[in-house]
């Protein structure tokens, strides 16, 4: 006779434990300041994965991966990577390596590796996962395009911009097909094009419609949505590349102030916005203000990411260029 409680004999307890964890993790993780309560959930989530039987493993892993995503979006990249990687390993007691939820956890770990500046490792993980997802689920599957979005960020930071742009365009097309044009993830991928494309292409992309993306995001998602703010941030960068320094300066100043109120001064995206603000101030002739802004960015990135992180190194190089007079917009 089959045991109705499953292989552990505790199926109702497993289900209840997964439901309790699910209720404690943000349903849709969003960018935000560090939240110490999230890290407190990690040992419980991993212990649950080490205990549950086969019937609950996928659900427990999905919730734990969402927890890793929430950690990632507060800037806690070390915890995000370790949580996702350990969760995938534990879940493979019951699930195949190619199971959808295992692949999604591996992808999340790869995304965190990128933020930690470990680009070669991030590329290897994300490329392997994305290739497997594309083979199993198709090119337009949301999990495939999620890994593709992460991979294009890595490629861009490795200097392989043409590869990155091609993959980002594939991601936009896949998300538009699977999720719809107005989905936040579709709009977020399109906003990536504002940052990635050279000035000559950004004005012609989508028949010229890309430059109006912030207005579209505001109409669909609202002015305070994280994707809308990200689109405005990238739009300011596009304006800067186009030499429209006054417009870029106004927009990125507003974005940086909003980011700082919402996330606090140490949050990674705040520092990225302030770095762009330093460029617009310097381009408008306010070099000393640009130097002051970059000095602060370098100090904060050095504390948060370490002196050898690629983001810190790039910021320090920009600051040195300002100080030496070598910098040109």
- 256 burial level (CB within 10 Å; 0-12, 13-18, 19+): buried
Say whether pLDDT at 5 is over 90.
no
Task: Provide mean pLDDT across the span 46-66.
Answer: 96
Those residues whose C-beta lies under 8 Å from the C-beta of residue 231, and which sit 6 or more positions away, are: 187, 188, 190, 191, 194, 213, 214, 217
pLDDT, residue 260, reads 96
Retrieve residue 42's tokens. Answer: 């990690």
Handedness of CA 40, 85, 149, 247 (dihedral sign): positive
Task: Provide mean pLDDT across the span 317-324.
Answer: 97
Q: Are 219 and 227 in contact (CB under 8 A)?
A: no
How many angstroms separate the CA atoms of 85 and 229, rounded? Answer: 30
Cβ neighbours, 10 Å, residue 198: 11
In tens, the pLDDT along 138-161 reads: 999 999 999 999 999 999 999 999
- Of residues 156 and 12, more confidence is placed in 156
Q: How far is CA 237 from the centre of its chain?
A: 18
Q: Name the residue with tokens 């106004």.
A: 250
Cα–Cα separations (whole angstroms), residue 229 to 233, 242, 278? 6, 20, 18
Residue ranges of the chain that CATH labels 1.25.40: 256-329
Handedness of CA 132, 113, 118, 296 (dihedral sign): positive
pLDDT band of 241, cuts 50, 70, 90: very high
Say whether pLDDT at 39 is over 70.
yes
In tens, the pLDDT along 173-200 reads: 999 999 999 999 999 999 999 999 999 9
How many angstroms separate the CA atoms of 64 and 115, rounded? Answer: 19
Task: Provide mean pLDDT across the span 69-93.
Answer: 97
Q: What percent of the chain has pLDDT over 90?
A: 95
pLDDT, residue 8, reads 46
The full DSSP string for 249-303 is HHHHHHHHHHHHHHH-TT-HHHHHHHHHHHHHHHHTT-HHHHHHHHHHHHHHHHH
- Average pLDDT of every residue of the chain: 95
How many angstroms separate the CA atoms of 292 and 317, rounded? Answer: 14
pLDDT band of 7, cuts 50, 70, 90: very low
Retrieve residue 2's tokens. Answer: 């089959």
Say whether pLDDT at 63 is over 90.
yes
Among 77, 42, 79, which Cα is nearest to 63's?
A: 42
Task: Provide mean pLDDT across the span 62-87.
Answer: 98
In tens, the pLDDT along 114-141 reads: 999 999 999 999 999 999 999 999 999 9
Task: Provide mean pLDDT across the span 266-275.
Answer: 97
- Of residues 13 and 61, more confidence is placed in 61
Say whether pLDDT at 276 is over 90.
yes
pLDDT, residue 10, reads 59
pLDDT band of 13, cuts 50, 70, 90: confident
Among 228, 262, 188, which Cα is nearest to 32's?
A: 262
pLDDT band of 6, cuts 50, 70, 90: very low
> What CATH code would you report for 256-329?
1.25.40
């Amino acid at each position: 006779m089959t045991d109705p409680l499953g292989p552990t004999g505790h199926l109702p307890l497993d289900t209840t434990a997964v439901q309790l964890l699910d209720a404690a993790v943000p349903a849709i993780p969003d960018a935000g300041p560090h939240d110490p309560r999230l890290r407190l959930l990690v040992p419980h989530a991993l212990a649950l994965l080490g205990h549950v039987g086969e019937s609950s493993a996928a659900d427990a892993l999905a919730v734990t991966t969402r927890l890793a995503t929430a950690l990632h979006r507060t800037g806690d990249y070390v915890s995000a990577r370790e949580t996702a990687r350990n969760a995938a390993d534990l879940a493979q007691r019951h699930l195949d390596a190619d199971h959808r939820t295992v692949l999604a956890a591996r992808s999340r770990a790869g995304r965190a590796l990128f933020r930690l500046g470990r680009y070669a490792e991030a590329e290897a993980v994300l490329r392997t996962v994305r290739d497997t997802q594309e083979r199993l689920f198709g090119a337009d599957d949301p999990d495939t395009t999620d890994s593709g979005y992460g991979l294009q960020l890595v490629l861009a930071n490795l200097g392989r911009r043409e590869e990155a742009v091609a993959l980002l365009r594939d991601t936009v097309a896949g998300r538009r097909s699977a999720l719809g044009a107005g989905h936040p993830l579709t709009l977020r991928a399109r906003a990536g094009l504002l940052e990635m494309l050279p000035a000559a292409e950004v004005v012609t992309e989508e028949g010229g419609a890309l430059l109006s993306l912030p207005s579209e995001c505001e109409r669909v998602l609202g002015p305070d949505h994280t994707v809308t703010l990200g689109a405005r941030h990238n739009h300011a960068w596009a304006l800067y590349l186009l030499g429209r320094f006054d417009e870029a300066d106004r927009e990125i100043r507003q974005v940086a102030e909003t980011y700082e109120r919402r996330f606090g001064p140490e949050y990674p995206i705040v520092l990225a916005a302030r770095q762009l603000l330093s460029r617009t101030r310097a381009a408008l002739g306010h070099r000393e203000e640009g130097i002051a802004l970059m000095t602060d960015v370098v100090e904060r990135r050095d504390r948060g990411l370490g002196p050898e992180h690629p983001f810190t190194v790039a910021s320090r190089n920009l600051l040195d260029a300002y100080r030496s007079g070598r910098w040109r917009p």
